[in-house]
Amino acid sequence: TTYNVGVLIGSLSKDSINRRLFTALARLAPSADLRLAEVPIRDLPMYNRDLDSALPEEVTAFKAAIEASDAVILITPEYNRSIPGALKNALDWASRPWGSNSLAGKPSAVIGTSIGAIGTAVAQQHLRSILSFLNSPELSQPEAYIQTVPGLITDEGEVTNESTAEFLLNWLKAVHTHADKVALAAAA
């Protein structure tokens, strides 16, 4: 089965290295029988529970896009050893209003890139803790900490380092297997 995967990109920067990683993953995805589509977070208002009773249009569209996806990939930068506020804000919206958590039961996988050698590891741990609370079954292994070096991913999304390309494709295949397992368990 080809799965449709919604992708949250944690950076709002137009020349984000995490957005660049998204282009690489989207290009590799068909070889793992996945179709990747961004679920944009940039136009979401700041979460405020006063808005829960009349959700802004951007929020409704955001939640519907997650719910329509077979699985979700979260690509996170690391900001001050955690996830960016914009991504936390998006996850807070995904979780609300109470009783309509869009991520409940939705298979998820986390990945991220930074220039630093530990490649978003600390931010990803924070993200896993949030996803766990939101009852989203996460891909545990392989973990994916990608260190960006100049030229790693071309403007067209091609990964220039053979072993990194192979690693990313295998990671995407693991996302597919994970989505399969969650779907099977749900049907049982």
CA dist 113 and 157 (Å) reads: 14
* Shortest distance (Å) from residue 177 CB to ligand FNR: 27
* Shortest distance (Å) from residue 168 CB to ligand FNR: 16
Does 114 bind ligand FNR (CB under 6 A)? Our answer is yes
Contact assessment for residue 6 and residue 39, using Cβ atoms and an 8 Å cutoff:
yes
Footprint of ligand FNR on residues 5-24 (CB under 6 A)? 11, 13, 16-18
The amino acid occupying position 72 is: V
Supply φ then ψ for residue 20, to 5 degrees.
-65, -40
Contact assessment for residue 17 and residue 115, using Cβ atoms and an 8 Å cutoff:
yes
Supply φ then ψ for residue 48, to 5 degrees.
-150, 120
- Token digits of residue 186: 């749900």
For residues 68 to 87, the per-residue mask of contacts with ligand FNR, x marking binding by CB under 6 A and - elsewhere, is ---------xxxxx------
* Shortest distance (Å) from residue 41 CB to ligand FNR: 13
Does 141 bind ligand FNR (CB under 6 A)? Our answer is no
Supply φ then ψ for residue 78, to 5 degrees.
-110, 120
Residue 87 to residues 27, 44, 93, 182, 184, Cα–Cα distance (Å): 23, 10, 10, 24, 29
* Shortest distance (Å) from residue 80 CB to ligand FNR: 5
For residues 22 to 61, the per-residue mask of contacts with ligand FNR, x marking binding by CB under 6 A and - elsewhere, is ----------------------------------------
- Token digits of residue 161: 């380092």
Q: Which CB, 13 or 177, lies closer to ligand FNR?
A: 13
**How many residues bind ligand FNR, per CB under 6 A?**
13
Q: Which CB, 20 or 178, lies closer to ligand FNR?
A: 20
Contacts with ligand FNR by CB under 6 A lie at: 11, 13, 16-18, 77-81, 114-116
